[in-house]
């Protein structure tokens, strides 16, 4: 069974389009995250949700809108895509408390904007 | 600001031991993680340190000195499959506001 899954795995689209990435976890975790990993391999937190509530919103353009319909799902919608949005987007989940609270990552979505 | 430093690249030989260092300067500290990331794949959890000292898990060990802002990951009996990027990440905040600040990773190449 896949713990954290994302769809699609690859996404190629043109500038100006709107696209969504879906994420689901079956680990029973309360907290979910979206990360962006750029070409230099830098992994940067974008958002985190706890029990469907937005907790962390880093300085991300408001073209990016996360939505959590329930605590097992966290989707990412991106409006008006730009060239600089090209990256790998990882979804992750973790328990809300305990030690350690390691994060489990999905396989990633490689977004290419042309 | 938050700063995490790791060497960019390292090379080692199969069967050998390698130590990957990580230094951090962050506003707050609630633990340090090491993750492994193979090319084209997701990061996977390796180890966690919150108190000073050494944590051992099989061939992998991780050490932490909070007073020095320093950690290392020790890999023993290196295997070809250990060729990957190793990411150091520091936990800031607590509870629901907890988040990870990531280093750029150390790309390790294991040669036969």
SS3 string, B21-67, reads EEEEECCCCCCEEEEEECCCCCCEEEEEECCCEEEEECCEEEEEECC
Considering only CA atoms, which of B89, B26, B95 is closest in space to residue A35?
Answer: B89
Backbone CA torsion sign across A88, A54, B51, B23: positive
**Interface with B, mutate which of A6, A30, A97, A101 (most B CBs under 10 A):** A101
Which pLDDT tens digit goes with each residue over B56-111?
999 999 999 999 999 999 999 999 999 999 999 999 887 777 788 999 999 999 99
Percent of chain A residues topping a pLDDT of 90: 73
Q: Which residue of B has its CA nearest to A47?
A: B99
Angle at alpha carbon of residue B86, lines to B44 and A26, rounded to 5°: 10
pLDDT category, A1, cuts 50, 70, 90? low
Q: Which residue of B has its CA nearest to A33?
A: B99
Do B43 and B108 form a contact (C-beta atoms < 8 A)?
Answer: no
**Interface with B, mutate which of A35, A88, A103 (most B CBs under 10 A):** A103
Comparing CB atoms, the residue among B41, B98, B104 nearest residue A40 is B104
Which pLDDT tens digit goes with each residue over B48-60?
999 999 999 999 9
Average pLDDT of span A92-111: 88
Please indicate whether, in this complex, the C-beta atoms of B97 and A31 are within 8 angstroms of each other: no
Whether the pLDDT of residue A77 is over 90: the answer is yes
Is the omega angle on the peptide bond into residue A84 within 30 degrees of 0, that is, cis?
Answer: no
């Amino acid at each position: 069974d896949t713990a954290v899954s994302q769809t699609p795995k690859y996404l190629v689209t043109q500038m100006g389009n709107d696209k969504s990435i879906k994420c689901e976890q079956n680990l029973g975790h309360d907290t979910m995250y979206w990360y962006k990993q750029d070409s230099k391999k830098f992994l940067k937190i974008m958002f985190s949700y706890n029990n469907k509530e937005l907790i962390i919103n880093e300085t991300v353009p408001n073209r990016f809108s996360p939505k959590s319909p329930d605590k097992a799902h966290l989707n990412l919608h991106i409006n008006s895509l730009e060239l600089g949005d090209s990256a790998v987007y990882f979804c992750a989940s973790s328990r809300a408390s305990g030690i350690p609270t390691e994060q489990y990552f999905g396989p990633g979505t490689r977004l290419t904007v042309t | 600001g938050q700063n995490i430093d790791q060497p960019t690249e390292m090379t080692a030989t199969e069967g050998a031991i390698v130590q990957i260092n990580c230094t951090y300067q962050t506003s707050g500290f609630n633990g340090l993680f090491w993750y492994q990331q193979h090319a084209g794949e997701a990061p996977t959890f390796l180890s966690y340190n919150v108190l000073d000292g050494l944590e051992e898990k099989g061939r992998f060990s991780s050490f932490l000195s909070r007073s020095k802002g320093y950690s290392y990951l020790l890999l023993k009996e290196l295997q070809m499959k250990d060729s990957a990027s190793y990411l150091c990440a520091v936990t800031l905040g607590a509870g629901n506001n907890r988040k990870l600040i990531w280093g750029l990773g150390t790309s390790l190449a294991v040669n036969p």
